[in-house]
Amino acid sequence: MTHSEKHRSHRIGWLRAAVLGANDGIVSTASLIIGFAAANAGLENILLAGVAGLVAGAMSMAAGEYVSVSSQSDTEHADIALEKRSLDEDYDSELAELADIYEARGLDAELAKQVAEGLMAHDALGAHVRDDIGIPDNNSAQPIQAAFFSAVTFSVGAALPLLIAYLGPPQQLILPVAAASLIFLALLGALAARAGGASMMKGALRVTFWGAFAMLLTAAVGQLFGVTA
Ligand SMILES: [Zn+2]
């Protein structure tokens, strides 16, 4: 007998970030391109808008991610420092605190105390970081990596509709860009859902709906404010 049950939650973190970045890149760049095309802008301006959108979006994703992960990391460090200080100052009440946590999770009082003692003898700070603060092992936040990862995944997503606009027929950009982008979105949504063990159809439909909505909206705005439309 092998233990074949697969848990997927731990995989969702980076995958979710990657799919989110690529989704954002596809939706915002395709919408920009479609908006400019609907306003009857020339191909050069359409591509320029798309490239500017790619750079602006990638930078904004990176900055946003950096700030959010940094503040998470600051909070974690402050929590860990506080925990370390109370361990130095009052080991016994920290031991009692940990035992209470295990008791609340279902162990009887005697066993909870034994577990707390065993874990704290092995690695007191580690046990408190994990079970008192609630930071999983080896999972401290990495702002630079997170920022870089977001910028790259956004750029990859943004490059797809740009490439279609560049290669497609200049007079009829809207349909191929919209169609290809929605297909990419559906594939990404299905992939993310599959990796997370959820319904692929649901995942695909969800992102495709919001992507289509964004493109329709910018197409309408482009039409409305278009130069010669
Ligand atoms: Zn503690």
Q: What is the pLDDT along the chain (229 residues), one digit of tens a residue?
A: 455 566 555 555 677 778 889 999 999 999 999 999 999 999 999 999 999 999 999 999 999 989 998 998 888 899 999 999 999 999 999 999 999 999 999 999 999 999 999 999 999 999 999 999 988 766 666 888 889 999 999 999 999 999 999 998 888 899 999 999 999 999 999 988 888 788 888 888 988 999 999 999 999 998 888 765 4
CA of 9 to the centre of ligand 1 (A): 26
Contact 51, 64 (CB under 8 A): no
- The CA 132 to ligand 1 mean position distance, Å, reads 5
Distance from the alpha carbon of residue 86 to the mean position of ligand 1, in angstroms: 7
Give the per-residue SS3 of 165-197: HHHCCCCCCHHHHHHHHHHHHHHHHHHHHHHCC
Q: C-alpha dihedral over 73, 75, 80, 83, to 10 degrees? A: -170
Q: What type of residue sits at position 226?
A: G
- 96 Cα to the center of ligand 1, angstroms: 9
Asked whether the beta carbons of 193 and 58 are under 8 A apart, the reply is no
What's the CA-to-centroid distance between 15 and ligand 1, angstroms?
A: 31
Structure token digits, residue 205: 């439909």
Compute, in angstroms, the gap from residue 108 CA to the centroid of ligand 1. 19
